[in-house]
């Protein structure tokens, strides 16, 4: 997820590195650079086939120049400051630069290379300095402040009032009120942080790609499903290891191995490789980057008048303060930890029943949990996969959007893409009106970041009475097809696809006038509501049977299998909740520090933080510090809690549908009008309450996870 372009820009959500090779090319002439020409592609989509790596640097440099000129015109305007000539003009500035940055950002996360990463690292300080120059421009801020101080006397719409409020706070929080010496230091900090985030993501994903568990003895494949074995054979072929099998640290490879391999020593090897990324004392070690990032954030928070980085971040959130976050986490942590201890005891009992004389370790949990699920519910992941062919799941999420909002999705082959895996769909209203474009990119590759995300190649906004329609991207790293069978998704992959599609709808259906407020440009702990609510439909039998069909026979998922899914919905929820929430505590502990730590103290700090909350040794925190990209390279610092905060919202909001009907159009229309379309135009609690008729209650979350 990206925040608005005018706030301090983080170039990377995540990035992967591959060797690009080849000779360095000469700087292209402006006439050869597609960023300097009008795009005549359908819907003004980026002409990816024409865009080369060497185009970015001159385009970014030109974009900075043009943006500087636009800012100067606003700041030096001899006319008295007004909403139109200051705030609206500011929101409309930098469109050329924004276009270039969005293409580069998306390629960095989805189809990167060493050469592109080098360009990004070279440009990061200049971009950081450019946005600092805007925020710290005293003449520009004086005009914003003048309008802000007379806001009560102005006839502004609610959206205009919010834009004024947001921009004023943006500038204050970015240091507009600092003295010159503090402003100079702040610029240095921001530039260094921009580079540190790039390096952190680079290191994590280089190390992820570097590991291979190579198996050359077929006996070591015992217990693994055939599709997992086939995928490992395909991975080996791609790496020139024909006749062998390769397992990697990418989730579609890692998780099935941990679930099904009885080879305990191999499970331990791949698991430890995963949890020690960035912590191996090699060129990709991130401990020094973590320590330096935390030190700079502490210093920046202090410069801006905040006790901690968390105080700074959370001021602009629904939670407001670190204390509120900790109190919220504690409400869920205690029942979750109690359940996790019970689950660990149950797994240990299973180990003993099978004759094992060892203690349950983290690399055992997935394996024995899968065994226990099958024992208790006659259900395992591989029973579900045949009903979740990727194309059927995509049809399912499109069907849900149609039932709720009347949307239609038409595949387009004439829109340029950056990789053959990418598909493009035109999104239309029920009456045929164009809404926007959705790109989908669902398979892992060496040039692509791990995980799943939504991004925008163009945000929607209104100018001169015309609506500029959005270009939205959904990315994932799901199980890929093999020569033997199509892409068959796990249950987790299915829910992830629905989750990111929810973010996509937030970007597609936004109906805001201003870029600062449009789409997903909302506070961090509200942004996950539109995505997470979509996951709720997946487990509903009434909906599941509409799209879950056996890829070989076409038969819908049988009632008895649906019943098993429902019966097992609370299974392993202690583990799932504790693994995630321990990362929330770790994030908050890092960002409530008031003194820096040394690189050699990073892992000890993590150990003490997790010991304080009583994390049991059988569970490893979901993200250890050296690969916690969400908070050190992805914009979620002091905000990783927002997923479960938003789950309170989504669980409560979904009850509105359960109280009426699963596809109730009136309820869906209210959610669209009050949440999806409104972006950041009003306080999120106001928007939620307008939809639900009241504030959310935590009881729905505890019930959803079986922790009540």
- N-to-C CA span, the chain: 31
pLDDT along the chain (708 residues), means of 10: 35 30 41 92 98 98 98 98 98 98 96 94 95 97 98 96 97 97 97 95 92 97 95 95 96 95 98 98 98 98 98 96 97 96 98 97 98 94 94 98 98 98 98 98 91 96 93 96 92 97 98 97 94 96 96 96 92 96 98 98 98 98 97 95 94 95 98 98 96 91 85
The pLDDT of residue 23 is 34
Concatenating the DSSP letter of every residue in 174-203 gives TTTTS-HHHHHHHHHHHHHHHHHHHHHHHH
Angstrom distance (rounded) from CA 279 to CA 204 = 10
Contact 394, 494 (CB under 8 A): no
Contact 646, 526 (CB under 8 A): yes
Contact 9, 174 (CB under 8 A): no
The pLDDT of residue 30 is 55
| Phi and psi torsions of 112, nearest 5° | -90, 180
Q: What are the chain's domains?
A: 30-201 (1.10.1370.40), 211-275 (no CATH), 385-567+641-704 (1.10.1370.40)
**500 is a catalytic site residue:** yes
The pLDDT of residue 613 is 98
pTM reported for the whole predicted model: 0.88
As a three-state string, the secondary structure of 14-80 is: CCCCCCCCCCCCCCCCHHHCHHHCCCCCHHHCCCCCCCCHHHHHHHHHHHHHHHHHHHHHHHCCCCC
Which residue is it, tokens 């410069």? Answer: 303
Which residue is it, tokens 């700074």? Answer: 312
Angstrom distance (rounded) from CA 25 to CA 685 = 52
Contact 167, 90 (CB under 8 A): yes
The pLDDT of residue 336 is 96
Catalytic residue among 70, 381, 500, 579: 500
DSSP 472: E
Angstrom distance (rounded) from CA 454 to CA 473 = 6
The pLDDT of residue 702 is 85
In the Cβ-directed half-sphere of 77, how many Cα atoms lie within 13 Å?
21
Angstrom distance (rounded) from CA 553 to CA 565 = 21
Picking from 439, 509, 523, the residue whose alpha carbon sits closest to that of residue 474 is 439
Which residue is it, tokens 């700087």? Answer: 27
Other C-beta atoms within 10 Å of 220: how many? 16
| Phi and psi torsions of 245, nearest 5° | -130, 135
The pLDDT of residue 697 is 87
Q: Which helix (H) or strand (E) holds 468?
A: strand 466-468
Angstrom distance (rounded) from CA 343 to CA 369 = 9
The pLDDT of residue 10 is 36
The pLDDT of residue 380 is 87
Report the DSSP beta bridge partners of residue 556. Answer: 549
Q: Helix (H, G, I), strand (E, B), or coil: what is residue 495?
A: helix
Contact 701, 648 (CB under 8 A): yes
């Amino acid at each position: 997820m990206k925040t608005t372009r005018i706030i301090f820009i983080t170039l990377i959500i995540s990035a992967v590195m591959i060797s690009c090779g080849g000779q360095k090319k000469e700087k292209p002439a402006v006439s050869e650079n597609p960023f300097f020409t009008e795009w005549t592609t359908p819907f003004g989509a980026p002409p990816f086939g024409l865009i080369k790596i060497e185009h970015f640097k001159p385009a970014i440099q030109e974009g900075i120049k043009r943006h500087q000129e636009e800012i100067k015109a606003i700041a030096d305007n001899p006319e008295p400051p007004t909403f139109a000539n200051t705030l609206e003009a500011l929101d409309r500035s930098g469109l050329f630069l924004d276009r270039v940055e969005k293409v580069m950002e998306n390629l960095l996360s989805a189809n990167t290379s060493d050469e592109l990463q080098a360009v990004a690292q070279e440009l990061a300080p200049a971009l950081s300095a450019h946005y600092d120059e805007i925020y710290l421009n005293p003449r520009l801020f004086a005009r914003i402040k003048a309008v802000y101080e007379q806001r009560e006397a102005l006839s502004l719409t609610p959206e205009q009032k919010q834009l004024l409020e947001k921009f004023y706070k943006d500038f204050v929080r970015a240091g507009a009120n600092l003295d010159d010496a503090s402003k100079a230091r702040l610029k240095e900090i921001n530039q260094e942080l921009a580079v540190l985030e790039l390096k952190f993501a680079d290191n994590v994903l280089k190390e992820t790609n570097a590991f291979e568990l190579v198996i050359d003895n077929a006996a070591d494949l015992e217990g693994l499903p055939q599709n997992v074995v086939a995928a490992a054979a395909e991975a080996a072929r791609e790496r020139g290891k024909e006749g062998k099998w390769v397992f990697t640290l990418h989730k579609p490879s890692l998780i099935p191995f941990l679930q099904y391999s009885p080879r305990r020593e191999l499970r331990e090897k791949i698991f430890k490789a995963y949890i020690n990324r960035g912590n191996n004392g090699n060129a990709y070690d991130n401990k020094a980057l973590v320590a330096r990032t935390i030190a700079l954030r502490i210093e920046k928070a202090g410069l801006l008048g905040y006790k901690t980085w968390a105080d700074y971040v959370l001021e602009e959130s629904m939670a407001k303060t670190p204390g509120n976050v900790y109190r919220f986490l504690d409400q869920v942590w205690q029942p979750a930890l109690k359940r996790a201890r019970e689950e660990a005891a149950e797994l240990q009992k299973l180990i003993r029943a099978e004759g094992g004389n060892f203690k349950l370790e983290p690399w055992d949990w997935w394996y024995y949990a899968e065994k226990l699920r099958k024992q208790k519910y006659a259900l395992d992941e591989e029973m579900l996969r045949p009903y979740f062919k990727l194309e059927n799941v995509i049809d399912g999420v499109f069907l849900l959007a149609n039932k709720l909002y009347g949307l239609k999705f038409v595949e387009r082959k004439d829109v340029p893409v950056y990789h053959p895996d990418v598909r493009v769909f035109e999104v239309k209203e029920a009456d045929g009106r164009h809404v926007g474009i959705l790109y989908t990119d669902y398979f892992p590759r060496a040039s692509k970041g791990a995980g799943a995300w939504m991004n925008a190649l163009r945000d929607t906004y209104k100018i001169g009475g015309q609506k500029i329609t959005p270009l939205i991207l959904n990315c994932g790293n799901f199980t890929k097809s093999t020569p033997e069978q199509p892409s068959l998704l796990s249950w987790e992959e299915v829910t992830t696809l629905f989750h990111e599609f929810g973010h996509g709808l937030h970007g597609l259906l936004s109906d805001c006038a201003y870029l600062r407020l449009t789409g997903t440009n909302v506070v961090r702990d509200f942004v996950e509501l539109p995505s997470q609510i979509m996951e709720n439909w997946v487990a509903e039998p009434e909906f599941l049977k509409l799209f879950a069909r056996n890829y070989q026979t076409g038969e819908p998922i049988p009632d008895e299998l649906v019943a098993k899914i429902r019966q097992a919905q609370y299974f392993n929820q202690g583990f799932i909740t504790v693994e995630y929430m321990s990362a929330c505590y770790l994030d908050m502990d890092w960002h409530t520090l008031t003194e820096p730590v040394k690189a050699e103290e990073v892992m000890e700090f993590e150990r003490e933080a997790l010991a304080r909350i009583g994390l049991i040794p059988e569970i490893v925190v979901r993200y250890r510090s050296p690969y916690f990209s969400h908070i050190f390279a992805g914009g979620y610092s002091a905000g990783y809690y927002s997923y479960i905060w938003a789950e309170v919202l989504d669980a409560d909001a979904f009850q509105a549908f359960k109280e009426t009907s699963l596809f109730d159009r009136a309820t869906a229309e209210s959610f669209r009008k009050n949440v999806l379309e409104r972006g950041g135009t009003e306080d999120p609690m106001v928007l939620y309450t307008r939809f639900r008729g009241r504030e959310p209650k935590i009881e729905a979350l505890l019930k959803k996870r079986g922790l009540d």
